[in-house]
Structure 1
């Protein structure tokens, strides 16, 4: 027997499974087996009997083929997962982020992961949720009419149990209006550390002595007052601040947050610890972690911000933005435009451009800036080697989602030179 699940059919099947239990005795017709997936980033897949109808709308975790691994943990329940179907025509989606640094018992993280996953799936939520013993960090995309339900689920499962934390646990909405879905699936993962800062044990999750958080209006006013006299540190990676940053910010030429923290130590070495330090990042969590670390080192006057600065500028056009360009986003949009300034250049022809893309050869997948002209010339690839791989069939013309392990660093020698237009 063959079965095709897409759109509302997948929701109906999933809801029926959830309401009737998840043991094999009440598996619906057409479902061959249920496997408990490997205890890594993904929850289990539903394995369906093979047939051509599967290609009509069901997307698996990594490929369009069934993917499941039988677990040796027989005592754990079997959990079905039907990945979301294609976006419905006319459906608007809201992108939002959220984090809080709170202690979560390490032995309860896997159970929490499963609870969150199962309760969010019926709402067609996509994106990433990371759980660790030091808190939660998420970046999600939800149908606009399911946003409140999604927030209620996470409030109940996380904040009501473990507290809001001194950070306040604030939801941050994207700068733009609701639009297309920017993630393909929902991923809930347990990590060893919420942010890999390379500073294990140097700051406490319970530490309430955190940086002072400024609302966008206050942050803007403070930048008006201090100009370039204060130390403003952009805690984001090089590919983020290349397409947009604050005018007077010190930009970190780094690929990882650990490298940023190492540079931060060098930057602040010998600095008067009574002097003000301003920090900015994308969602706030990197400022929160680095701020706690600096508090432990004795710095007193720390101020962090500001995810919602872009929304403040859009809502107050009379305010002259201290941020120029695009705010990079870790989703399919690759960024939200804050101002019309284009501060970066195509990595192949050096023309003004600020859209980051991945090389279409999935064996390369380098993240780089490419203008429309070079995109056409090089068939969405970074140069002749990858162009040949794509056009003769040794590579792939389908670009995968953003991968921070494959990035271009302008000005540095690359392991594989990007071809520049003549």
Structure 2
């Protein structure tokens, strides 16, 4: 019985190309009580693997957080399976605006302590007492209200390439870091301002809204379905788009365009650019913004040192990586000392 992915990304990409069929990229989440996450995880894998589902899915006692792609021809069967699970029946699916058959190249379903690393003790407050969900139209109204404080609940490297105009964009590496900072910065406005939040697909705001209500904020709102759902609603309903730039996404696409503006700059030369890449040196793998000119000159690397390593043979690079563990301290996501141009939000 196969319960884990057994193909490499390269092998899977070749199969997708050979199939020549369209895939749909989508995401969803649901907070629910899952008694045995491991059993639930295995059941999902058995069904989704047969449907050729690919993606990154986290399962925990508190629910599920899924980002995935499914062959368009199997979408109906996939939706039927979700609806057969009581707590996932009619769950909102955030379908990507920009599709890419290679958005995901493996099926990874992992059991985690939490579906989002928030660092919170859920037993200390009512996680179901969430903020008011608002659609794109109502969201546009709220953020024009002078009594509204708009907060981006994403990380610095996400908001760097795109965000809502006039939003507070915390300079943080993780969602966990943002919560106490936002509470402290806005503590004087707990009763006299509307706190409106947004994130990529809504899951971070779901927990954050309950946390901030627990901390005394009287009016808390969250953009339902996040930026992904907002983009689809403004497109389908002809609403004004108040998002500038790109929406960072956690798959091979890295981002999808929401507005036409380019608000970021290449981290190596400073030219206008909003394309994220990972350093070609696997031992570094730094996430940073790189223009085509620098990509060619630096061979996809973030520094001359990494360029030298990347030019070595696979076995030589593997030897250099031996004993080193990849982590946020290694990835750094744009905070490396090799980066010359830092974020410049407008």
- Structure 1 counterpart SS, 2:68: strand
Alpha-carbon shift at residue 180 of structure 1 (Å): 1.8
Alpha-carbon shift at residue 270 of structure 1 (Å): 2.9
Report the structure number with the largest CA radius of gyration: 1
Aligned to 2:52: 124
Alpha-carbon shift at residue 311 of structure 1 (Å): 1.6
The one-character-per-residue Cα deviations of 1:151-182 (angstroms, maximum 9, x if unpaired) are: 2223323xx1x476xxx831111122x44231
Relative to structure 1, is the Cα distance of residues 109 and 385 closer, same or farther in structure 2, using a 3 angstrom cutoff?
Answer: same
- 1:181 maps to which of 81, 98, 102: 102
Alpha-carbon shift at residue 418 of structure 1 (Å): 3.4
The answer to whether residue 139 in structure 2 is matched with residue 197 in structure 1 is no
Alpha-carbon shift at residue 44 of structure 1 (Å): 4.2
8 Å CA contact retained: 1:175, 1:308: no
CA distance in 2, matches of 1:339, 1:44: 38
Q: Which has the higher contact order (CA 8 A, sep 6+)?
A: 2
Relative to structure 1, is the Cα distance of residues 272 and 295 closer, same or farther in structure 2, using a 3 angstrom cutoff?
Answer: closer
Relative to structure 1, is the Cα distance of residues 404 and 169 closer, same or farther in structure 2, using a 3 angstrom cutoff?
Answer: farther
Unaligned 5+ segments in structure 1 are: 1-21, 23-33, 35-42, 47-58, 65-82, 397-401
The answer to whether residue 11 in structure 2 is matched with residue 86 in structure 1 is no
Alpha-carbon shift at residue 262 of structure 1 (Å): 2.0
Instruction: Provide TM-score, normalisation by structure 2.
Output: 0.86
- Structure 1 counterpart SS, 2:240: coil
The answer to whether residue 193 in structure 2 is matched with residue 271 in structure 1 is no
8 Å CA contact retained: 1:386, 1:395: no
What stretches of structure 1 move > 6 A for 4+ residues in a row? none
8 Å CA contact retained: 1:382, 1:419: no
Alignment coverage as a number of residue pairs: 326
CA distance in 2, matches of 1:365, 1:357: 9
The one-character-per-residue Cα deviations of 1:388-413 (angstroms, maximum 9, x if unpaired) are: 111233448xxxxx986613446xxx
The answer to whether residue 233 in structure 2 is matched with residue 292 in structure 1 is no
The answer to whether residue 203 in structure 2 is matched with residue 252 in structure 1 is no
Alpha-carbon shift at residue 229 of structure 1 (Å): 4.5
RMSD: 2.5
Relative to structure 1, is the Cα distance of residues 404 and 325 closer, same or farther in structure 2, using a 3 angstrom cutoff?
Answer: farther
8 Å CA contact retained: 1:357, 1:370: yes
- 2:71 maps to which of 136, 143, 165: 143
Comparing both structures, which one devotes a greater share of its residues to helix? 2
The answer to whether residue 108 in structure 2 is matched with residue 215 in structure 1 is no
Instruction: Provide TM-score, normalisation by structure 1.
Output: 0.72
Alpha-carbon shift at residue 367 of structure 1 (Å): 0.3
The answer to whether residue 262 in structure 2 is matched with residue 342 in structure 1 is yes
Relative to structure 1, is the Cα distance of residues 187 and 288 closer, same or farther in structure 2, using a 3 angstrom cutoff?
Answer: same
8 Å CA contact retained: 1:379, 1:387: yes
Aligned to 2:81: 153
Alpha-carbon shift at residue 133 of structure 1 (Å): 1.1
Relative to structure 1, is the Cα distance of residues 196 and 308 closer, same or farther in structure 2, using a 3 angstrom cutoff?
Answer: same
Matches within 5 A, 1:23-422: 43-44=3-4, 59-60=7-8, 86-87=15-16, 88-105=18-35, 108-157=36-85, 160=86, 162=87, 169-176=91-98, 178-200=99-121, 201-205=123-127, 207=128, 209-223=129-143, 225-226=144-145, 229-273=147-191, 275-305=193-223, 306=226, 307-316=228-237, 319-393=239-313, 394-395=316-317, 406-409=331-334, 414=336, 416-418=337-339
Unaligned 5+ segments in structure 2 are: 319-325, 342-346
- Structure 1 counterpart SS, 2:189: coil
8 Å CA contact retained: 1:360, 1:380: yes
